Amino acid sequence: MGLTIPAFVGRIAFSALAALIGVIFALPLLWFLFAPFNARAELGLAVPAPWTLSNFFTVFGNSYAVQALWNSFIQAVGGVILVGAAATLAAYALSRSSIPGKGAVTYILLLFSSVVSGSAAMVPIFLIISAAGLMDTHLAVILTFAGGLLPTAMFILRDFIDSIPKSYEESAMVAGASPVQAFFDVALPVIRPGIVVIVVWSFVNIWGSFLIPFILLRSDSNMPASVAIYSFYSEAGTPIVTLLAAYSLIYSLPVIALYLFVSWRFGFRFFGGIKA
Amino acid sequence: MTTETTAAPRKRKPRNFALLSNWAGAAFLTPAGILVSVFVIVPFFWVIFVSFTNRTLLGRTALNPEFVGLGNYLTLFDPATFFQRGQFGFSLILTTQFVLASALLGQALLGLLLAWLIQTVPPWVKRITETFVIAAWILPEVVIGFAWFAFLDRDQGTLNMILEGVGLPPGDFLLQQPFWVIVAFNTWRGAAFSMMLFSSAFSSIPPSYFQAADVAGASSWQKFRDIGLPLIHGHIVTDLILITMWTFNTFTPFLLTNGGPSYRTELVSIYNYRVAFQDFQFGKGAAVGVIMMLINLAFALIYLSIGRKKKVR
């Protein structure tokens, strides 16, 4: 590669600029990388001396903190199962049946789901949950998220199923399989990668969100980590930084793990915005 | 069900061959249909209904709300108070400025710049930069909120440490410049999406276009302006609409500033929360929700009509 001198200088300038932006993006996160391992962490940035895991032991010794992580898990997994199952069935029906008006259904769903966002619909969602007698239950959070995430999940999955040739299921049915058998035994294994994408996407969405559980839950025993984290304040109203930092890291781990999984398994290409 | 569905497809083969009978298709759609109806479609109509009442969270009107017609809307749009701090108009204008500054200028431009830069830099620079930009985007919002809280802390925060290090005066930015803090915050938080969208758009351009330009001696800026930009303009429109919608609805700055100090960062989503859940005025909160949904509807219609045109072509 014969680079001319201006082109060479240009490439260095580009690299320097990209690296500089990377560093600026890293700055707010540095505290979050160091503080969990520092037994005397404060809001200031300090390299731990010595590095320690004691903050993590404190978190795991705090039954309320552990309960909150468990609550996050229940709500996220419950929501994911509901979204995954309902979206798979619905997307398959929209792709493979000849129900009249299914194109319009997809269009209207997409329209509604982008109009009815969590922050615009907080009043009616609160009223619906309250009318159903589900206030302050895990089910309230699970159902609300499932309803909100389903339209997008169905849309992504329908696109995915449309791209798979029908001949797989057709040959199974020629061989005598019923449509339901063709769905469970032939189609389902083929569309599994699409389902994985939706499952990861909805898990990350529910796990990280604050507003819906903040509105729908009341008692400490039901709070997910995203809301419970605000109780790690001393009586004087200052944050207990050591606990907070370690807890933030533990709470982030599933999201990081899933991101790495998707990026390893699927190359983290563009999934139409894996986050809503 | 089985007898019908197995018999039907064979007769109609090969034309109009549907793998699922309408009956089975409807059954498959039912669970999703119920959930979406109850949590997406019903709220849309219910919020309109509630916005015409004086429903509250507590007290007499919680159970027996009265119909007040356009009362809530008239209060929201009362010209005497509309632009005052802590009123609806103030938060609407604030949100517009927030969207313009943090989404359209911040996220889109920074995302475009990053997407262009990482096309040409060495892989290790690309990987490090991408890692932090994407981390800002995927980490849970409360974690990000605390990280920024520590970053901006007046006495110990990383930002002031750096500013003092280079000889600039430190500041209590959450108090002095709360609006610009949430603008920087949202730009930082969301630039990854634009970067990834534009990056995948750039990499779909045939490399021969750029090679031809190289032979002709074009500079990077010329290649960007004359080849890159025109070929991805469809993606730019998509990006602008999506990030506008998300930024308009975002509630995350609440975690950083609580809408304050003195309402200076009270975006419409936060205003909606305060009116409904702190002042307990559900009717008025519902009216805010209706207006937010109308604005969302306008953007969604633009977005979907562009998407449809693309499919037709």
Task: Give tens-digit pLDDT for A196-250.
Answer: 888 988 999 999 899 999 999 988 888 998 888 888 776 666 777 888 888 889 9
Q: Which of A14, A268, A27 lies closest to B115, judged by CA? A: A14
Total number of residues shown for chain A: 276
| Res B13: pLDDT | 42
| Res B2: pLDDT | 38
Bond before A124 cis per omega within 30 degrees: no
- For the cut 70, the answer to whether the pLDDT of residue A275 exceeds it is no
The CA distance from A30 to B55, in Å, is 46
Residue of B nearest to A182 (CA): B19
| CB-CB contact of A153 with A198 (8 Å) | yes
* CA distances, B214 to each of A3, B210, B222, B303 (Å): 11, 6, 10, 36
| Res A49: pLDDT | 75
Q: Residue B129 CB: number of other CB atoms within 10 A?
A: 26
Average pLDDT along chain B, 313 residues, taken 10 residues at a time: 42 53 83 89 88 75 72 80 82 92 92 89 88 90 89 84 86 87 92 89 84 83 85 85 89 86 88 88 88 90 76 49
The pLDDT confidence band at residue A139, using thresholds 50, 70 and 90, is very high
| Res A2: pLDDT | 53
Structure tokens at A168: 């797989």
Name the 3-class secondary structure at A97. strand
Give tens-digit pLDDT for B68-104: 778 788 887 877 877 878 788 889 999 999 999 999 9
Pairwise CB contact (< 8 Å): A19 & B128: yes
Measured between beta carbons, the chain A residues lying within 8 angstroms of B129 are 18-19, 21-22, 25
Q: What is the ipTM of this complex?
A: 0.85
Residue of B nearest to A99 (CA): B22
The CA distance from A69 to A207, in Å, is 10
Name the 3-class secondary structure at B156. coil
Measured between beta carbons, the chain A residues lying within 8 angstroms of B309 are none
| CB-CB contact of B256 with B145 (8 Å) | yes
Interface of A with B in 138-167 (CB under 8 A): 143-144, 146-148, 150-151, 154, 166
| Res A239: pLDDT | 75
Measured between beta carbons, the chain A residues lying within 8 angstroms of B62 are none
